[in-house]
Amino acid sequence: MPKITRVQCIRTRSGGTWVIVKVHTDQPGLYGIGSASDHYRASTVVEAIEQSLGPKIVGRDTGDIEDIWQSSLTSGYWRHDSIWNTALAGVDMALWDILGKEAGMPVYRLLGGPSRAAVPAYAHAAGNTLEELEQDVRRYLEDGWIYIRCQLGNYGGGGFLTPEQRRRPENARPPFDTPRRAFDDEAYLDTIPQMFAFLRDRLGFEPKLTHDVHEHLRPHVAVALAKAVEPYRLFFLEDLLPPEHVSYYWHVKQQCTTPQAMGELFVNPAEYLPLIQERLIDYMRIRVSKAGGITPARKIAHLCEWYGVHTAWQEGGDNDPVNQAAAMHLDMNAWNFGIQEENHFTEAELDAFPGHAVTKHGYIYPNAKAGLGLDLDETKAAALVDPERLKRHFYMAEDRRPDGTVVRP
C-alpha cells in the first residue's frame, strides 16, 4: 500500500484563490490532487492543511480514505466548519485520485459506475435589461444548452432602486450609505415574476430556466416570490432563503410547487439533514469541497436518493477544475443526479490542468483517464498568479437597503 509522504498546497489563479492540494506518496510518480479553494480565505485553508492536517496524515496508507476522513474530522475536536471541511476535501479528493490511479479506473467507476453518458450542466445567462437577458439566453440555446439560469445583472438584480427611487437618510454616511445602489426586496418581488413572464412569452416553456435569489430576501418576501413565479414552471429556484431561515421552506412547500434548490452555504449536516428528511428542498447544492470532499458528498447523494432529492453540486465562478472534476465523477455515478452548474475558466486556466473535464453544448464530459482524470501543470499554475492580486483580501460584495442596513449575500 502506498504511503503518504508529503501534503503540498499550490495556490493558483490570478489572486491565488485556488488552492490545489497535492498528496505525494512513496511510490515513484504516484500522487493525487484535490481542491481546497476558498475565494475569500485561501491562506487560512493553506495554513490549516500545512500546520495541522498534513502533518497528521503523513505516513498513513493512501487507501485509508474513510478512516483518514473520520479521524481528521474530529482531530481538532470542533468540526464541520467551512475552513476545516475545505482542508479535508483537498486531501480526500487527492486520495480518491490516487486510488483511481492505482486501480487504473476513473473515480466514477470506483463509486459504482456510470448512471449516464455525460453530465448535463446549466448555463449562466444575464442581462441588465429584459432584452439583453433574452439575447443571452438565446445565445446559450443556439449553442445547444437546455438548462439556463436567468439573472437581471448581478445577484439581487431586479431589486435595486434607481437614484430617483431611493430615499436615503439625511445623515447617510459610510458604511450606512448607498451611493451606488440600494436593494429593496419588494421591488425584487415585483420584477422577477415579470422577468419570467417576459422570457416565457418570448421563448416558450421548452427551455429549463432557473433563478438564483442569493438569499437577498426577507423570509416572508421569499415565500411570496416562490409563489409568484409558480406559473412560469422553473427548473428550480435557488437560495431563496439564507441558512438561518430554512424553516420557512415549510411555508414555501405549503404554498406552491416551485422546485427549490439550496446548499452552497452549508457545511454542517445539522443544516441540511432536516431539509432532506422533510423533503423541503428538491435539489441539494453543497459545494463538494465545502462538504469535506468526495467521501461525505457521496453519502449525502445516497441519502438524498431515498428522499427523492436530487443533486446539483455548486460550481459557478469561484471553483477550480479539480472541484469541477470531483463533482462530475459524483454526478456520473449518482442515480439521483439533477444538474451541475457551469464554471467560468479562461483558456490559460484550463491549460494549467491537462486532462480537465470538457464542457460542450450543455454537457460536461469526463475522459477515460484513471483517477480524477486531470493533472496540475505547476509551471503554468504559477504563471497564472498575479503577485499584486495575491496580496489582496477578497470580500463578498455588500448590498444595502436604502437606510444603510446590510443585506445578507
Give the shortest CB-65-to-Mg ion separation in angstroms. Answer: 29
d(C-alpha 158, C-alpha 183), whole Å: 9
**Which of 136, 212, 315, 342 contacts Mg ion by CB under 5 A?**
212
Give the shortest CB-201-to-Mg ion separation in angstroms. Answer: 26
Question: In the block, which residue shows the cell 480518491?
Answer: 96
The Cα angle at residue 227 between residues 254 and 396, in degrees rounded to 5: 105
| DSSP type of residue 53 | I
Binding piece for Mg ion, criterion CB under 5 A, among 111-119, 210-218, 255-263, 369-377? 210-218
d(C-alpha 218, C-alpha 225), whole Å: 11
Residue of 124, 214, 216, 310 with catalytic role:
214
Collapsing DSSP to helix, strand or coil, 308 comes out as coil
Q: Check if the beta carbon of residue 192 is closer than 8 Å to that of residue 156.
A: no
Nearer to Mg ion, 7 or 261 (CB): 261
Find all residues with CB under 8 Å of 157, minimum gap 6, and list them: 126, 128, 151
Nearer to Mg ion, 92 or 212 (CB): 212
Q: Check if the beta carbon of residue 120 is closer than 8 Å to that of residue 24.
A: no
Dihedral sign computed on CA atoms, order 236, 242, 243, 244: negative
Nearer to Mg ion, 214 or 329 (CB): 214
Give the shortest CB-238-to-Mg ion separation in angstroms. Answer: 5
Count the Cβ atoms, other than its own, within 10 Å of residue 144: 10
Q: Which residue is nearest to Mg ion (CB)?
A: 212
| Residue 38 binding Mg ion, by CB under 5 A | no
Site string for Mg ion, 319-358 (x = CB under 5 A): ----------------------------------------
Residue of 155, 188, 249, 283 with catalytic role:
155
Site string for Mg ion, 167-206 (x = CB under 5 A): ----------------------------------------
d(C-alpha 331, C-alpha 337), whole Å: 6
Known active-site residue 214: yes
Give the shortest CB-51-to-Mg ion separation in angstroms. Answer: 31
Nearer to Mg ion, 237 or 276 (CB): 237
Known active-site residue 211: no
Give the shortest CB-159-to-Mg ion separation in angstroms. Answer: 16
Closest CA to 87 of 71, 65, 72: 72
Positions that interact with Mg ion (CB under 5 A): 212
User: Which residues are annotated as catalytic?
Assistant: 155, 214
